[in-house]
Structures are given as C-alpha cells and as structure tokens.
C-alpha cells in the first residue's frame, strides 16, 4: 500500500475528519480569504479529504465540486454536509491526476495538502490548469521538510522513539516542499503571477498521550507504519513514543506547523 492509493486514506478517514481536519481547516480558512472568491463563482477542491476547504468555500461561492479518490474521506464529507445547511457542494469520487470535468469550467481550484501525494504531480497541476477558466486562480499547499517544521519534528521524534531503527526522514529531491519548487511546478503547468504565502499555526499540546492518539488516528503515514502489526506490539511502541515525548518536552507546549501556500493565475 502507498499513499498514492485510496486504502490508507480510507482506513484513517474517521480519525482524520476530527482532530486533523480541525487543525488543517485553519490553513484552508486563510486560503479562502486569499482567493476571496466572488459569490457567483465555481470552485474545485481536489483531494478534498473530509472537506477542510470545501466546507469553507461553500458559503462563499455558487458551487463547489469536491473530488477525492478515497470513498472513506468522501463519506466523512457527505456526513458533515448532511449535518450542515450547505447545499451547493457536489461530491465526486475521482483521481486528481485525471479529472472528468470540461476545460475552463471553474473560477478557482484548490488542492490543500493533497496533490503532494500524487505519483504524477505534474498531471495533477495540468488538470487544475485545464479545468480553470482564463483568469482563474489556483491555490496549492504543502509542508516544508521535517527539519524546518517543529510540529513535524515533534511527531517524527515520537515515531523514532517507537521505532528506534527507523532512519530520519530523508531530504527528498522530488517532494514538493519549498517555495521555489511550488513556483517552478505551477509555472511548468502554465500558471503565471505566482504568489507564495507562508502560513503557520501552532499545535498546542496539553496532553501528550491525547494529542499523539488523535494524530495517529488521522495519519495515513502512521497507518502504513502500523500495517500488519499486532495490537500488543503497537501498544508497546506507542507507549515508548509517548514516554519519550513526555520526558523530552515540558507540557503544555505549542509547536509551530508551518505550511507553504502557492497561488497561481491562469492567463
Ligand atoms: C492530507 S489529506 C488532505 C485533505 C484535505 N485537502 C485537507 O486539507 O484536509 C490528502 C487527501 O488527498 C487524497 N488523495 C491523494 N491522492 C489522490 C488522488 N490521486 N486523487 C484524489 N485524491 C487523492 C487522499 O484521499 C486524502 O483525502
């Protein structure tokens, strides 16, 4: 299994739609402000997950089309829509690398922490470009490498305490993880007049075990690490992670989780 397939996302969808979405919704809120969509516009949310951006775009635009390849994530989004008064969202199961929508059918397109998982990111960006009308805007977001993110470092430290033989995350040449790469890849897809917005929100940890468990429940990465492991072994490893974090950080702490948002315009 890899994060480029729906299953790891299906398995954590219920957990993701709680704590993780609540945290990521803060970045989505800022992106919606930056896009400042007109009320008659149509927006596309690709790799929408359980709806962090969709649910905030919907009250601002005429229609949102929310696409994800994980039926589990889409079920969470449909549940949230059912509990709200929002009635202008179309939920579509599909692959962001090959979208079913006609060219030039949207005014705005976003992919928040989504297309970073596509095996063919260039195809995902080209599809966003194709689906936008001329003058339309795209927003994509990604994380910097672990070494530049206190919150990711905190999580990785816990994971490495649980799995002492696990190497530190390698610095990847191919990951989308810097402003320069975001500008370059948006440019290659045809976008122009790029803007980079560094955003950051703190993860506030009062209760290490509680935050650790919330994080695990919503993390497709950790789902892969746990794959095939017995509950006993996991419990043992999890206890090591929590012990390490309790011993090495005084609670409560606030750890910054910086993100990179790139906005591009289709000429
Ligand atoms: C980290 S979540 C982000 C979800 C949401 N955008 C947010 O900000 O909370 C990544 C999402 O990308 C979706 N995804 C990954 N690859 C995909 C693909 N090729 N096509 C569509 N969705 C994909 C996953 O199913 C998951 O819902």
Residue 85 has pLDDT above 90, yes or no: yes
Pocket mutation for ligand 1, best pick of 15, 44, 46, 49 (most atoms within 8 Å of C-beta): 49
Condensed to tens digits (0 to 9), the pLDDT of residues 42-73 reads 999 999 999 999 999 999 999 999 999 999 99
| Residue-range domain boundaries for the chain | 6-145+170-203+258-265
Q: pTM for the full model? A: 0.96
Q: Which residue has the higher pLDDT, 167 or 263?
A: 263
For ligand 1, the distance from its centroid to the CA atom of residue 5, given in whole angstroms, is 10
pLDDT at 6: 97
Per-residue pLDDT of 195-250, as tens digits, reads 999 999 999 989 999 999 999 999 999 999 888 899 999 999 999 999 999 999 88
Instruction: Please confirm whether the linkage preceding 144 is cis (ω < 30° from 0).
Output: no
Q: What percent of the chain has pLDDT over 90?
A: 91
Question: In ligand 1, which atom is closest to the CA atom of 13?
Answer: 27
pLDDT for the residue numbered 183? 98
pLDDT at 5: 95
For the stretch 89-103, pLDDT in tens is 999 999 999 999 999
Ligand 1 centroid distance, CA of 115 (Å): 7
Helices (H), the chain: 6-15, 21-35, 54-57, 71-82, 121-131, 150-162, 179-189, 208-218, 220-226, 231-248
Overall CATH class of domain 6-145+170-203+258-265: alpha beta
Task: Say how far apart CA 23 and CA 3 lie, in whole Å.
Answer: 20
pLDDT surpasses 80 at 1: no
What are the φ and ψ backbone dihedral angles of 76, each rounded to 5 degrees? Answer: -65, -40
């Amino acid at each position: 299994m890899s994060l480029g397939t729906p299953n790891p996302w299906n398995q954590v969808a219920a957990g993701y739609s709680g704590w993780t979405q609540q945290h990521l919704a803060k970045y989505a809120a800022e992106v919606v402000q930056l896009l400042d969509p007109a009320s008659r516009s149509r927006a596309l949310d690709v790799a929408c997950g359980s709806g962090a951006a969709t649910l905030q775009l919907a009250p601002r635009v005429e229609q949102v089309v929310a696409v994800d390849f994980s039926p589990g994530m889409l079920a969470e989004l449909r549940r949230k829509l059912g509990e709200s008064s929002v009635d202008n969202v179309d939920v579509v199961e599909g692959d962001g690398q090959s979208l079913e929508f006609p060219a030039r059918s949207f005014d705005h397109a976003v992919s928040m922490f989504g297309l970073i998982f596509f095996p063919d990111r260039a195809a995902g960006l080209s599809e966003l470009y194709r689906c936008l009308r001329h003058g339309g805007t795209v927003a994509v977001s990604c994380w910097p490498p672990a070494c530049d993110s206190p919150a990711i470092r905190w999580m990785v430290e816990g994971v490495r305490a649980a799995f002492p033989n696990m190497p530190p995350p390698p610095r990847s040449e191919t990951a989308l993880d810097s402003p320069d790469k975001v500008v370059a890849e948006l440019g290659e897809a045809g976008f122009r007049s790029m803007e980079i917005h560094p955003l950051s929100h703190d993860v506030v940890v009062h209760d290490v075990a509680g935050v650790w468990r919330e994080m695990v429940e919503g993390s497709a990465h950790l789902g892969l690490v746990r794959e095939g492991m017995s509950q006993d072994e996991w419990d043992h490893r999890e206890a090591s992670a929590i012990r390490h974090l309790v011993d090495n950080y005084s609670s409560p702490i606030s750890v910054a989780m910086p993100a990179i948002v790139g906005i591009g315009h289709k000429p």
